[in-house]
Amino acid sequence: MKITSIKSHVLRYELDKELGYSQQYYKHRTAHLVEVETDEGITGWGECFGPGNIALANKYIVEKVIQPLIKGDDPLKKEYIWHKVYNLLRDSGQKGMPIQALSGIDIALWDILAKKSNLPLYQLLGGKTNDKIPVYGYGMMLQKKTVDELCDLFKNEANQIKEKNFKAMKMKIGMGPKEDLKLVSSVRDTIGSEFKLMVDANHAYNKNDALYVGKGLDEMNIYWFEEPVAPEDYDSYKELKQKLKTNIAGGEAEFTKYGWNQLIKNNCIDIAQPEVCGLGGITEYLKVSALAQSNFIPIVNHVWGSAISVAVNLHLLTTLPDMPGGLFPTKSMLEFDTTEKNIFITDLAEEKFSILDQVKNKNGFASPLENIGIGINPNKDFIKKYEYNG
Ligand SMILES: [Mg+2]
């Protein structure tokens, strides 16, 4: 079997209203799909993390840098291809865009293997350890509003997420230490003291401000404090982890087993959030997962992007063992977008795929698709309609 072509599709549409996180506001939603064709007529699909115009740069890396290196190679030789590409790009990028680009290609190679094997992806990853995965809703994004206005919006949104049956929810913070505590406290009051609530600062803080916020969170029964400080600031991560009761979560901006090894060795996190579409694909995710498991760090995948990313993550999560296991283990969760209708999730696939319906009908749980491969094949007309070339 041979790889005959690798194409990138960057999709984009304008949102009704601007959304944001601690680093920026954005008006467009993007997704970056990768299509790998073979001489046997099997096509694999993958996805690269990287929002906005970063996706355009990644498209260039996929098509103009990586494609010439591996065109003609056997797509089933995933390890060989991963290491060949990583090794040739190593001097120019051990993290960031080259690895995001490689991730999408690697995922497509797994889709090809699963399609050739006539099995759903999860069977190749070890089979199911859990039939259904609890789903948490992320939403409550920042907007250009005052803190008081945002408190009202967040309360509303928190109620909606709860009503949709999600098992837990996550809100953005990063407006300033005092403002953040006000925001979190208003959501906490709205949903009750026991509902599982997480907060995400997207590395808005230095260590001392993060400590101030974290101490406030410690009093509000918050399940995790995500990306409190810059991803490369291992020392602050370590200190926060030691001093705060609230779990420290992170890793969405960490890459490959090499980067993850440092994050884990430096004792930075209580909860690992690997991003399969960014850290190097499924081939590398499995190694990062083994690293986290061997250090007894629970994994709750970071999920961003289209239905492809959601479907892949369901396959990964369904095969992930409970850590450490028992009659009443703390389960991993699927992260799911609850902001205004995300058509890249709801309308992309040829197959029927609705997490929202599953969450609603299965009391907050979702299961992977039983179709062969990843289980999702994007509709070509949909791609045409939303394709964006800059
Ligand atoms: Mg995050």
How much distance in Å is there from the Cα of 381 to the middle of ligand 1? 31
Q: What mean pLDDT do residues 198-211 have?
A: 98
Instruction: Select which of 9, 32, 302, 315 is catalytic.
Output: 302
Instruction: Based on the fold, state whether residues 195 and 290 are members of the same structural domain.
Output: yes
Return the number of other C-beta atoms located less than 10 Å from residue 357's C-beta: 11
Predicted pLDDT of residue 209: 98
Instruction: Based on the fold, state whether residues 243 and 317 are members of the same structural domain.
Output: yes
334-337 and 247-250 strand pairing: unpaired
Instruction: Based on the fold, state whether residues 103 and 150 are members of the same structural domain.
Output: no
Of the candidates 121, 132, 93, 115, the one whose C-alpha atom is nearest the C-alpha of residue 36 is 115
How much distance in Å is there from the Cα of 347 to the middle of ligand 1? 24
Count of domains for the chain: 2
Report percent pLDDT > 70 for the chain.
Answer: 100
Q: What mean pLDDT do residues 306-316 have?
A: 98
How much distance in Å is there from the Cα of 22 to the middle of ligand 1? 10
- Whether pLDDT at 310 is above 90: yes
Predicted pLDDT of residue 116: 98
Give the per-residue SS3 of 234-260: HHHHHHHHHHCCCEEEECCCCCHHHHH
Structure confidence by residue, pLDDT tens digits, 226-280: 999 999 999 999 999 999 999 999 999 999 999 999 999 999 999 999 999 999 9
Domain stop point among 92, 118, 144? 118
Q: DSSP assignment of 149-214, as one string?
A: HHHHHHHHHHHHHHHTT-SEEEEE--S-HHHHHHHHHHHHHHH-SSSEEEEE-SS---HHHHHHHH
The answer to whether residue 383 is domain-embedded is no
How much distance in Å is there from the Cα of 41 to the middle of ligand 1? 37
For residue 43, give the H/E element and its range. strand 43-47
Report percent pLDDT > 90 for the chain.
Answer: 99
- Whether pLDDT at 36 is above 90: yes
Can you read off the two tokens belonging to residue 139?
A: 């939403």
- List phi, psi (to 5°) of 342: -95, 95
Instruction: Based on the fold, state whether residues 282 and 355 are members of the same structural domain.
Output: yes
The answer to whether residue 198 is domain-embedded is yes
The answer to whether residue 375 is domain-embedded is no
Q: Is the pTM of this model over 0.95?
A: yes
Range of 210's domain?
A: 123-366
Instruction: Based on the fold, state whether residues 72 and 176 are members of the same structural domain.
Output: no
Residues near 167 by beta carbon (within 8 Å), at least 6 away in sequence = 134, 135, 136, 196, 333, 364, 365
Can you read off the two tokens belonging to residue 358?
A: 């599953």
pLDDT bin (cut points 50, 70, 90) of residue 340 is confident
Structure confidence by residue, pLDDT tens digits, 2-33: 999 999 999 999 999 999 999 999 999 999 99
Predicted pLDDT of residue 333: 98
Domain stop point among 57, 87, 118? 118
The answer to whether residue 376 is domain-embedded is no
The answer to whether residue 269 is domain-embedded is yes
Instruction: Based on the fold, state whether residues 15 and 98 are members of the same structural domain.
Output: yes
Residues lying with their CB under 5 A of ligand 1, a single-atom ion:
200, 226
Instruction: Based on the fold, state whether residues 34 and 107 are members of the same structural domain.
Output: yes
Instruction: Based on the fold, state whether residues 205 and 314 are members of the same structural domain.
Output: yes
Predicted pLDDT of residue 275: 98
> What is the Cβ-side half-sphere exposure of residue 91, based on CA atoms within 13 angstroms?
1
Question: Distance (Å, rounded) from C-alpha 313 to C-alpha 286?
Answer: 12
How much distance in Å is there from the Cα of 140 to the middle of ligand 1? 12
**Residue recorded with tokens 């089933």:** 76
CATH of the domain at 112: 3.30.390.10
Question: Distance (Å, rounded) from C-alpha 267 to C-alpha 265?
Answer: 5
Instruction: Based on the fold, state whether residues 154 and 298 are members of the same structural domain.
Output: yes
What b-and-e string marks burial along 278-302, b requiring 16 or more CB atoms within 10 Å of the CB?
Answer: bbbbbbbbbbbbebbbeeebbbbbb
Burial grade of 214 (CB within 10 A; 0-12, 13-18, 19 or more) = buried
CATH of the domain at 350: 3.20.20.120
How much distance in Å is there from the Cα of 252 to the middle of ligand 1? 7
The answer to whether residue 378 is domain-embedded is no
Return the number of other C-beta atoms located less than 10 Å from residue 34's C-beta: 31
Question: Distance (Å, rounded) from C-alpha 18 to C-alpha 29?
Answer: 10
The answer to whether residue 380 is domain-embedded is no
Can you read off the two tokens belonging to residue 387?
A: 């394709």
pLDDT bin (cut points 50, 70, 90) of residue 304 is very high
Instruction: Based on the fold, state whether residues 67 and 167 are members of the same structural domain.
Output: no
Cis ω on the peptide bond leading into residue 68 (within 30° of 0)? no
How much distance in Å is there from the Cα of 3 to the middle of ligand 1? 34
Instruction: Based on the fold, state whether residues 162 and 236 are members of the same structural domain.
Output: yes
Instruction: Based on the fold, state whether residues 243 and 359 are members of the same structural domain.
Output: yes
Domain stop point among 102, 118, 134? 118
Burial grade of 327 (CB within 10 A; 0-12, 13-18, 19 or more) = exposed
Structure confidence by residue, pLDDT tens digits, 168-199: 999 999 999 999 999 999 999 999 999 999 99
- Tell me which DSSP letter residue 332 carries: P
The answer to whether residue 381 is domain-embedded is no
How much distance in Å is there from the Cα of 380 to the middle of ligand 1? 30
What b-and-e string marks burial along 144-164, b requiring 16 or more CB atoms within 10 Å of the CB?
Answer: eeeeeebbeebbebbeebbeb
Structure confidence by residue, pLDDT tens digits, 37-91: 999 999 999 999 999 999 999 999 999 999 999 999 999 999 999 999 999 999 9
- Whether 83 sits among the annotated catalytic residues: the reply is no
